[in-house]
Structure 1
Amino acid sequence: MHDVVAFLNNIVWGYVLIYMLVLAGIWFTIRLKAIQFRHFFHMFSVMRHSRTGDSASISSFQALCTTLAARVGTGNLMGVAVAISLGGPGAVFWMWVIALVGMATAFAESTLAQLYKEKDHLGRFRGGPAFYMRKGLKSPAMALVFSICLFFGYGFVFGAVQANSISDAFNGSYGIDPVYTGAVITVLTAIIVVGGLKNIARFAELVVPFMGVAYVLVALFVISMNVSAVPDIFADIVGSAFGLREAGSGLVGAAIMQGIKRGLYSNEAGMGSAPNAAAAATPYPPHPVSQGYVQMLGVFLDTIVLCTCTALIILMSGIPLGQEFGIQLTQQALANQVGDWGSDFISIAILFFGFTSIVANYAYAENSLSFIGLDNKLGKLFFNLVFLVMIFYGSVATLGEVIAMADLGVGLMTIVNVTAIVLLTKSLVFVAKDYNQHLDAGKLPEFKIDEQQEQDMRLTKNIWRH
């Protein structure tokens, strides 16, 4: 099984996904007129009223926290360490690149998810890639393929990766057997996810901002202690990315591969995961594009801010690369800077970040059930059991096993989703232009279309007509 996964990963990542992601990011950057740079400050201003919502949905802020809960976890603490261990400091540069171009891709997929959303039998908004594939592209087959990939990735694999990092961190810091850590995580997950997306969103809204700010403050403290080394570290990152440093001259390919792999796994731009939460939000301004800005900000905060914090902590520590691997490298790096409490802090951070990721993963996977015929009592029971079993398995498995499966899950989802959003570029550009026209006129953007436009774009009836 390991050999099969490795073979498929080599094809998906070595020959398809790297080029696909970069080209898609450039495509959307051009078609949206560099929106991630042109409207950089506007994406922050959209958050001003982000707590606006209603009883039938989650707020934009809750949607951002839910997607950050899934993004901010092993990708930031363990993923950066893996990228640097295998690809050298240059991998960090390529994480930045894929994030900057990926911001446009994240904008595209979340805007489309809002545009093609619908209401379920309880009056709650639901949507995501499977919905815009079925409606916008009139392709139920594509929606089914994506839903299977989503179910595999978020229902089976990604929770295992998060659980692995948590158990590894506590084993490294306190010598706790991963079996016990895995059992506790599994029970706590079962308690949280019973309440569904709104419960998960409320949990994420409380935990993610607190831990995110705490982590950044600790990183800034470490940076202030080593501020004179910052220019050399950035020079090393850029030089190693292009093989300009002697030690990194043979690592350029590995730096690019690991940077893009771990960057995508961290920020999830183009994967088709964040749109599931974005579609469930009540947008403010009342326009599908506002959720595009919210999720574009999520990519920036995740990779450009938090991943950079981890990279600087590791590269400032003086630990020779290759001695430690994964989350224990991040723990040891911080402990070298601030003392033993640094390792404890990373353990607590990965517990909160990883656990919020696990429960957000559940919400994403649950959104795929209706497309694969499991949206019934028996199907949900099967899903719940598999999800919880995989969390426990991830706690006791080796990092190499779970991360290889995660790479495959990410790759398959992304290929299907990026293909769909590129095919829907015309609808994307139309709604982005509509938003910008309101903005340029000094008006609050509000999406209003007539019945003919609704039919032409194949939107849910009356979802955007009031």
Structure 2
Amino acid sequence: MPDFLSFINEILWGSIMIYLLLGAGIWFTLRSGFIQFRYIRKFGKSLKNSITPQPGGLTSFQALCTSLAARVGSGNLAGVALAISAGGPGAVFWMWVTAIIGMATSFAECSLAQLYKEKDKSGQFRGGPAWYMARGLGMRWMGVLFSVFLLIAYGLIFNTVQANSVAHALRYAFQCPEWLTGATLAIFTLLTIVTGLKGVARLMQWLVPIMALLWVAASLFVMATHLSMVPKVMTTIFQSAFGWREAASGALGYTISQALTAGFQRGMFSNEAGMGSTPNAAATAASWPPHPAAQGIVQMIGVFTDTIMICSASAMIVLLAGPMPHTPGTAGIQLVQQALVNLSGNWGAGFVSVIVILFAFSSIVVNYLYAENNLIFLRRDSRGTLWLLRIGVVLMVMAGSLLSLPLVWQLADVIMALMAITNLTAILLLSPVVTLIARDYLRQRKLGVPPVFDASRYPEIEAQIAPGSWDDLPRR
């Protein structure tokens, strides 16, 4: 079975996913009028607008922090180290590429999630890929298929990866037994997820900015104390990205295929653009200004923050530390700990442990929310089913802490690719709607008025969206 999954992964990630992600990112960059480049300088204004509360949903900032909590997991540390081990420093460059083009893909999927959202029985907005597949494409079967993939990946598999990184980090830094790590993480996860969507969102709007700033600040400190090495590291990243051998004596040469594959796989696993996970959070927001594109722009900030800032922070620490002995059994998180210890002293291992606990915990909690959201779409959100899902999450956290599960991690890569293929197919089919949303938003911005989505201007879309999702929002 491991050999079979490895073969499938090689096919999916060696060619299919790279071309699909590149193609979709370039396509939506063009269809949206290069929106990620036009609005990157206005991210500050978008963030300011995102804290305005509106009835029926979370604030846009809460939705952003919730989606970032899932994006910013142990993969931003351990995954980056493993990507550099597999593809060389050039993998970092291709992670940046996935972020830049992935911002347009994220805009597309999150704008669609906002457009096709609907209210649940408690009046809270819900939505995501399953909803726009059912409402926008009229293909509920596709939404069901996607929901099943997401439940397997986010409800169960990905949580083992997060818990395993925490267990390895605490064992390395403090000799903490894996069972104790797993039990503690499982208890805190359960206590948090029972607070529901709004309770988790309120926690994440404080926790996510703090943990992200701590890690970026640590990287900046390391860079400042090793400033003379930074230009060489940056040069090495660009040289390795295209398969050129480094001039430094003893440095390994990597092919462009190794760098590109490792960078794209890790970049997507980290920022999740195109995978269809983030729209589940984006749809919960009562966006301000009241336009689907407004939340799409806010969620682009998440891709930028995750990859350009946080993954780059990890990459700089690993690369500044220089080549380190790496055996196949060494966990990726231990490579990051060793790097920070080499650069700054023994406190580094403990600091990385604290950061990975925060990253992994927030990711596990929001992974559960995504799974719960898709149970609602499947109309299987009874009290008993929700508790069955919660117990499954807790058990997988325990299993991930105690066991080395390479088979599960290979399965996670396959499921992630299947999710992405299903979601990217849907948003590409809905690309005319994405173009319409982007043009409508940009037209109103050009006129100098706060964008408001008036569904009556587009009768075909008005017939597809849920009643009450756009016609009873407050207007300025």
Deviation at 1:159, TM superposition (A): 1.1
- Bigger Cα displacement from structure 2, 362-371 vs 114-123: 362-371
One-letter amino acid matched to 2:417: G
Deviation at 1:79, TM superposition (A): 0.9
Distance 1:7 1:376, change over 3 A: farther
Give a deviation string over 1:48-95, Cα, whole Å, max 9, x none: 121212454211111111111111111211110110111111111110
Indicate if the aligned counterparts of 1:450 and 1:465 stay in contact, CA closer than 8 A: no
Deviation at 1:252, TM superposition (A): 2.2
Give a deviation string over 1:350-392, Cα, whole Å, max 9, x none: 0011100000100001111134452223322221221211111
Distance 1:119 1:368, change over 3 A: same
Indicate if the aligned counterparts of 2:50 and 2:59 stay in contact, CA closer than 8 A: yes
- What residue is the counterpart of 1:313 in the other structure? 317
One-letter amino acid matched to 2:236: D
CA distance in 2, matches of 1:141, 1:437: 35
Deviation at 1:325, TM superposition (A): 4.2
Distance 1:201 1:226, change over 3 A: same
One-letter amino acid matched to 1:236: T
Please give the secondary structure, in 2, of the residue aligned with 1:255: helix
- What residue is the counterpart of 1:164 in the other structure? 164
Matches within 5 A, 1:14-413: 14-54=14-54, 56-246=56-246, 247-320=251-324, 322=326, 325-398=331-404, 400-413=406-419
Please give the secondary structure, in 1, of the residue aligned with 2:77: helix
Indicate if the aligned counterparts of 2:133 and 2:142 stay in contact, CA closer than 8 A: yes
TM-score of the superposed pair, with normalisation by structure 2: 0.95
Deviation at 1:401, TM superposition (A): 3.5
The answer to whether 1:420 aligns with 2:452 is no
Structure 2, unaligned stretches of length 5 or more? none
Count of paired positions:
466
CA distance in 2, matches of 1:455, 1:402: 41
CA distance in 1, matches of 2:55, 2:449: 27
CA distance in 2, matches of 1:38, 1:10: 36
Give a deviation string over 1:304-359, Cα, whole Å, max 9, x none: 01111110111111243635540001111111111111111100000011100000
- Bigger Cα displacement from structure 2, 298-307 vs 245-254: 245-254
CA distance in 1, matches of 2:463, 2:3: 44
Give a deviation string over 1:420-441, Cα, whole Å, max 9, x none: 0011011111111111111111
Aligned with residue 461 of structure 1, among 458, 467, 470 = 467
Indicate if the aligned counterparts of 2:243 and 2:259 stay in contact, CA closer than 8 A: no
CA distance in 1, matches of 2:460, 2:340: 54
Indicate if the aligned counterparts of 2:456 and 2:462 stay in contact, CA closer than 8 A: no
Give a deviation string over 1:86-128, Cα, whole Å, max 9, x none: 1111111110111111010001000000000000111110000
Please give the secondary structure, in 1, of the residue aligned with 2:220: helix
- Bigger Cα displacement from structure 2, 404-413 vs 372-381: 372-381
Please give the secondary structure, in 2, of the residue aligned with 1:23: helix
Please give the secondary structure, in 1, of the residue aligned with 2:455: coil
Indicate if the aligned counterparts of 2:22 and 2:101 stay in contact, CA closer than 8 A: yes
Give a deviation string over 1:404-423, Cα, whole Å, max 9, x none: 22212211110100110011
CA distance in 1, matches of 2:225, 2:429: 49
Q: Following superposition, which runs of at least 4 residues in structure 1 exceed 6 angstroms of deviation? A: none
Indicate if the aligned counterparts of 1:46 and 1:285 stay in contact, CA closer than 8 A: no
Between the aligned residues of both structures, percent identity stands at 46
Please give the secondary structure, in 2, of the residue aligned with 1:409: helix
Indicate if the aligned counterparts of 2:87 and 2:259 stay in contact, CA closer than 8 A: yes
Please give the secondary structure, in 2, of the residue aligned with 1:39: helix
One-letter amino acid matched to 1:360: V
CA distance in 2, matches of 1:380, 1:9: 31
Deviation at 1:152, TM superposition (A): 0.7
CA distance in 1, matches of 2:25, 2:457: 32
CA distance in 1, matches of 2:409, 2:66: 22
Deviation at 1:226, TM superposition (A): 1.2
Indicate if the aligned counterparts of 1:148 and 1:372 stay in contact, CA closer than 8 A: no
What CA RMSD, in Å, does the superposition of the two structures yield over aligned residues?
A: 1.6
Deviation at 1:231, TM superposition (A): 1.3
CA distance in 2, matches of 1:145, 1:248: 43
Distance 1:133 1:270, change over 3 A: same
CA distance in 1, matches of 2:413, 2:447: 45
CA distance in 1, matches of 2:169, 2:55: 38
One-letter amino acid matched to 2:201: A
Matches within 5 A, 1:445-460: 445-450=451-456, 453=459, 458-460=464-466
Deviation at 1:229, TM superposition (A): 1.3
Deviation at 1:452, TM superposition (A): 6.0
CA distance in 1, matches of 2:429, 2:45: 30
Deviation at 1:36, TM superposition (A): 0.9
One-letter amino acid matched to 1:99: A
Indicate if the aligned counterparts of 2:244 and 2:254 stay in contact, CA closer than 8 A: no
- Bigger Cα displacement from structure 2, 205-214 vs 399-408: 399-408
CA distance in 2, matches of 1:93, 1:232: 14
CA distance in 1, matches of 2:200, 2:407: 28
Please give the secondary structure, in 2, of the residue aligned with 1:221: helix
Indicate if the aligned counterparts of 2:88 and 2:254 stay in contact, CA closer than 8 A: no
Indicate if the aligned counterparts of 1:28 and 1:104 stay in contact, CA closer than 8 A: yes
- Bigger Cα displacement from structure 2, 403-412 vs 171-180: 403-412
One-letter amino acid matched to 1:243: G
One-letter amino acid matched to 1:218: A
CA distance in 2, matches of 1:83, 1:462: 45
Please give the secondary structure, in 2, of the residue aligned with 1:368: helix
Aligned with residue 435 of structure 1, among 415, 435, 441 = 441
One-letter amino acid matched to 1:318: G
CA distance in 2, matches of 1:452, 1:289: 15
One-letter amino acid matched to 2:277: S
